[in-house]
Amino acid sequence: MGIDLLTAEAFASELFGTAILMLIGTGVSANLTLPRTKGQQSRGALAASTFGWGFAVFVGVFVAFRSGAHLNPAVTIGLLVAREPFNSDAAFPIIAPTVLNAAIYIIAQMIGAFIGATLAWLVYRQHYDLADDPEKILGTFSTIPAIRNPLQNFFVEVIATFVLVFWVLVSGPTPEALGPLAVALVVIAIGMGLGGPTGWAINPARDLGARFAHAVAPIPHKGSSDWAYAWIPVVAPLLGGALAGIVGHIWAG
């Protein structure tokens, strides 16, 4: 019964944390993109986007503290491969890095991402109704490459995700007092430095869950959900996370 309760708490933690992350993050993109919002065509859009998503992660991590706040299947896979506990707060029972627990985390993250993106659409529904550029509409939900080159796009997402997950693994034993703010700063740094080519998905749930929300939302002029590209921001981050797990395990000795 204790294991069942722990699993349920971890599921709820990841679901709510990812939903909050996506509500704020998708909202940031919508605010900067859609017609007649307060943020449309604001100066410093790159900074607003990267800092907005970074602090969306900051909020989500606080919400999901019970489960270790992965909020990202790539992080879950990285910890699984590295054989690291899924949470590290001594105040809560340790959640073992098992395939079953990883599946529970990833399902919760996907559902949470869908819910968060859907809520963001509801917040900005009137502005979505005014939008007439299908690519910009999709771009508020999911990533779109600046230059479409599947091999290069895949490589970029692997590298960017590797940086994130490897940092998660090596930062565990490193003394620091920034807590969730540290994760936010890393996400901002990745967005600033590596986000240009693909829009830095670095999170399969962030992209796929939101893409499903785009697919089902009744948005005028929304066009295709671009399923031909959708596999890249899913498979590449998972591979990047797994590679980080391997290197992180070796790094830890």
Give yes or no for a contact between 66 and 13, defined as CB atoms under 8 angstroms apart: yes
* Phi, psi dihedrals of residue 60, rounded to the nearest 5°: -60, -40
Report pLDDT digits (tens) over 143-157.
999 999 999 999 999
128 contacts 219 by C-beta, under 8 angstroms: yes
Tokens found for residue 185: 């700063």
User: Mind listing the pLDDT tens digit for each residue in 45-95?
Assistant: 778 899 999 999 999 999 998 899 999 999 999 999 999 999 976 567 889
* Assigned token pair, 239: 């591979």
Q: How confident is the model at residue 112 (pLDDT cuts 50, 70, 90)?
A: very high
Cα distance between residue 91 and residue 87, in whole Å: 10
Domain covering 2-251: architecture = Up-down Bundle (1.20)
Residue 220 has what pLDDT? 96
CA-CA-CA-CA torsion sign (212, 217, 219, 223):
positive
DSSP classification of residue 174: S
Could you tell me the two tokens for 78? 């990285």
- Read off the pLDDT of residues 95-105 as tens digits, 9 standing for 90 and up: 999 999 999 99
pTM, to two decimals: 0.94
Q: Work out the widest C-alpha separation in the chain, in whole angstroms.
A: 55
